[in-house]
Amino acid sequence: TVARTVAAVDLGAESGRVVRAGFDGTRFEVDIAHRFTHSPRTENGILRWDMDTLSGEVTAGLARLDAGGGVVDSVGVDAWGVDYGLFRVDGRLVDSPTCYRDPRQLDAMKRAVDAVGADAIYDATGVQLMPINTIFGLTSDLHDHPGRVAAAEKLLMMPDVFHRLLSGSTSTEYTAASTTGALDMRTGRWATGLLTALGIPDRLMPEVVQPGTDVGELRGGFTGALSAARVIVPPAHDTASAVVAIPFTEPGALFISSGTWSLVGVETASARVDASAKAVNLTNEGGYGGTIRLLRNVMGLWLLQECRKQWRRDGADLGYAEIAELARAEPGLVSVVNPDSTEFLMPGDLPRRIQEYCARTGQPVPSTVGAIARCAIDSLALGYRRVLDAITAVTGTRPVAVNIVGGGARHALLSQLTSDATGLPVRCGPVEATAMGNAAVQLAALGEFSGVTEIRAAVENSADLTEYEPHARHDWAAAAVLLESLTSADGP
Ligand code: LFR
């Protein structure tokens, strides 16, 4: 029997879900009550999130739980990182939150680097330099829409925008704040010197609370299962929640949190902000229980998601499984791209961009769905290998296994190629790690789990896990050398 039940709201960049979860002492019981998709759209020349859809779907999911009987003790929201809402003094949003894939962020990063220097940004925070970071959204606002910032009294990270709607809370959660590029990851405090140097007013920066904090009672007039629920913030950055729910095969194993992005890294006890980490642009992200994730972003399933959209626009409505089967039939490692090149960051005709990349670099140009998809999947696996090497170089310890969680854990070809490319055994699952980690931290706050060790054991007992062993079918070492030369030609 389950003593306490919680609701986890997990918002990804493409889809969201509302989950009900409890722990019976051995197994973790997780039911998906509501799923939906959403996407950003261009409004007044800026790519923005569709807040009406997002808040409508969150409310619809909670209403379903409310009507579903029993008692739900708490609700918590996690979401993708870096994006933020700006709030006026009266508590309303200034406008719809912008999306980090707006091309404006590229220029903003260039300007900030020119103004204060890449080293100063990294040294103040320990966060990888990426155009998507919050600070570049904010400096872009200051440059192009100063009125947006002037009208704002406080910033909240995306999940906390929802915590505010649900409870009135005005704080931001630590793991979400750690994706801003404005938090000093050694101290967990705002890097005020950097904010000042970039002209970002520090009044915007909210109080930071730890995951597991009760921020108030749930509002919204629920009269059923949720009538007495609290809002307890989980690790509000989706990647932080996902890593809580990884059934690690080996201590120090490499994790890949695989969704729209692939976050590739290791969990460590403290932040690593030094010349060696900076040289390979490794980031320090905040985790549950004082941990740090030392990782790098790899472009992830976005490459396939955007290809699929383009093929659909071209009249071929293919499912991911069909695309994967076509890719599997290809010979493999024929052409590769640097998956992390900024030319793949923005929405658009990804198949063409991949073809142009191959043509420009003198490689065979993939011309079929299968060949393009195989190029993308091979390149992702190679990108994972590159991060494995970077982490090994920085920490001095080579992980001996890989754990993949998230939607990408279902992708058998990518998982096998990840094993082949890294030469390591791979264990995949759970697919819903993010929602599970979110729920588990709420349950821990309510006294149901003693900590992350117990959480991971429960996940291991409850989830379907699949394992892969490496095969030496292709020359990944040679491909890794090619990737390095392609990447230096791409420029920073
Ligand atoms: C994953 C994720 C990554 C973050 C990226 C952008 O969903 O949160 O951790 O770098 O999305 O927000």
pLDDT digits (tens, 9 = 90+) for 423-467: 999 999 999 999 999 999 999 999 999 999 999 999 999 999 999
Nearest CA to ligand 1 atom 7: 80
pLDDT of res. 491: 64
pLDDT digits (tens, 9 = 90+) for 113-162: 999 999 999 999 999 999 999 999 999 999 999 999 999 999 999 999 99
Q: Mean pLDDT over all residues of the chain?
A: 96
Distance 419 CA to ligand 1 centre (A): 23
Contact criterion met (CB below 8 Å) for 154 and 200: no
Cα→Cα distances 246→29, 241, 401, 409, Å:
16, 9, 13, 12
pLDDT of res. 2: 78
pLDDT digits (tens, 9 = 90+) for 33-82: 999 999 999 998 899 999 999 999 999 999 999 999 999 999 999 999 99
Q: Report the alpha-carbon distance of residue 451 to residue 11 in Å, rounded.
A: 24
Question: What's the whole-model pTM score?
Answer: 0.97
Helices 320-328 and 302-313 meet at what angle, rounded to 10? 100
Q: For this complex, say whether ipTM is above 0.95.
A: yes
In this model, does residue 394 exceed pLDDT 60? Answer: yes
Closest ligand 1 atom to the C-alpha of 261?
1
Question: Among 15, 47, 82, which residue has the most ligand 1 atoms within 8 Å of its CB, making it the best to mutate?
Answer: 82
Q: Report the alpha-carbon distance of residue 103 to residue 47 in Å, rounded.
A: 9
Which band of pLDDT confidence, cut at 50, 70 and 90, is reported for residue 320? very high
The question of whether 238 is a catalytic residue gets the answer yes
Closest ligand 1 atom to the C-alpha of 300?
1
Report cis status (omega within 30 of 0) of the bond before 430.
Answer: yes
pLDDT of res. 254: 98
Q: What's the gap between Cα 319 and its chain centre?
A: 23
Distance 80 CA to ligand 1 centre (A): 5
Which band of pLDDT confidence, cut at 50, 70 and 90, is reported for residue 492? low
34 has which bridge partners? 18
Q: Which amino acids bring their CB within 6 angstroms of ligand 1? A: 12-13, 80-82, 100, 132, 237-239, 259-261, 263, 297
Q: Report the alpha-carbon distance of residue 419 to residue 338 in Å, rounded.
A: 19
Which band of pLDDT confidence, cut at 50, 70 and 90, is reported for residue 338? very high
Strand order in the sheet with 426-428: 283-286, 292-298, 262-268, 254-258, 402-405, 426-428, 466-468
Catalytic residue among 66, 83, 184, 238: 238
pLDDT digits (tens, 9 = 90+) for 401-429: 999 999 999 999 999 999 999 999 999 99
In this model, does residue 85 exceed pLDDT 90? Answer: yes
Distance 12 CA to ligand 1 centre (A): 8
Question: Among 238, 258, 264, which residue has the most ligand 1 atoms within 8 Å of its CB, making it the best to mutate?
Answer: 238
Question: Among 127, 179, 258, 438, which residue has the most ligand 1 atoms within 8 Å of its CB, making it the best to mutate?
Answer: 179
